[in-house]
Amino acid sequence: MSLPAGNKQLAVVGAGSWGTALALEFSRQGYQVGLWVYERDLGARIAAERENNVFLRGFALPENIVPTPDLGAVAGAPLLVIAVPSHALRRVLSDLRPQLPPASEMVLATKGLEEHTSLRVTEVTLEVLGQDWTSRLATLTGPTFAREVAAGDPTAVVVAAQSPALAVSLQQRLSSPTLRLYTSNDVVGAELAASLKNVIAIAAGICQGLGMGSNTRAALIARGLAEMSRLAIAMGGAAETLAGLAGLGDLVLTCTGELSRNRALGIALGSGQTLAQAQASTPMVAEGVRTAAAAVQLAARWGVEMPILRQMHRVLFEHLAPRQAVAELMGRALRPER
């Protein structure tokens, strides 16, 4: 299966809720969109029913979205938007590599850190595809719930790239009346913010599951942002990025929004479920779990104190009781805020 001929073509690689929502947004902009679906049976159902009733139920897919389980059918698109979970990124890119045309561009809409290497998504991509992709690679991030993007709610995001020309070009090509892109050259800060906020969102959910109120959540968001900023700045990111859409904006959304899968997982943990039970209750991937494992390694490597992150790692992987984790955070030695 291949895309119909046309002047505006792109491919979305990954048909989870986020990839499907992006495909809908770009289809409204007049693009012919190839949508790669990992699950072959789901791809056939989407093609027949014109709806992704597993990951984004209730949204009809127009005819200019062409779902396919064949990665080669979308690899030749001039612009590829990668929306697979972070743990699948390396494998999917490895499969794509021999099929990519020499002049194509890529936007990473994947949020997370690679679990065993702690690499950011751009670092994984350049390791797989080669450093010559640097000028053709960008990251898309910011406060985005898939269902709201799919519905056409006004949304603002950041496109970060080492190439200012690419960032501006993508801003011009992908902005619409409902999707506003801001440019940035801070790829490090944008990608770390996009990853770390998911861990803080699990903590926010835990607090809610324990019955704690708005005071607790506000304190957690503020101190979580401080931790995220410390690590990002140590690794070369900019404080302004963490204070903007990619940082504070996405953090607030993910910690407070009803559609946040990381917050939902935290609520389940705070309510007494095990991690396995919480993960089994939904087909959606809560990126914060794997990110917690990777980010603990980064914090140690860079000598950055991140007590909330550390407690979340203990809850997720070391069987620390959620209420005890909160008590230990509150019982830490007193200190100045800054």
90-130 pLDDT per residue, tens:
999 999 999 999 889 999 999 999 999 999 999 999 999 99
The CATH code that applies to domain 188-330 is 1.10.1040.10
When the pLDDT of each residue in the chain is averaged and rounded to a whole number, the result is 95
Sketch the domain layout of the chain as residue ranges. 9-185, 188-330
- Which CATH fold would you assign to the domain 9-185? Rossmann fold (3.40.50)
124-175 pLDDT per residue, tens:
999 999 999 999 999 999 999 999 999 999 999 999 999 999 999 999 999 9
Q: In what order do the strands lie in the sheet with 65-68?
A: 65-68, 32-36, 9-13, 79-82, 105-108, 137-141, 155-161, 179-184
Q: What is the pTM of this model?
A: 0.94
Asked whether the predicted pLDDT for residue 207 surpasses 90, the reply is: yes
**What is the reported pLDDT for 1?**
43
Kindly list the catalytic residues.
197
Asked whether the predicted pLDDT for residue 2 surpasses 80, the reply is: no
Q: Which residue has the higher pLDDT, 35 or 284?
A: 35
Sequence-ordered list of residues with C-beta below 8 angstroms from that of 211, at least 6 positions apart, any chain: none
**Quick one: average pLDDT of 268-278?**
93
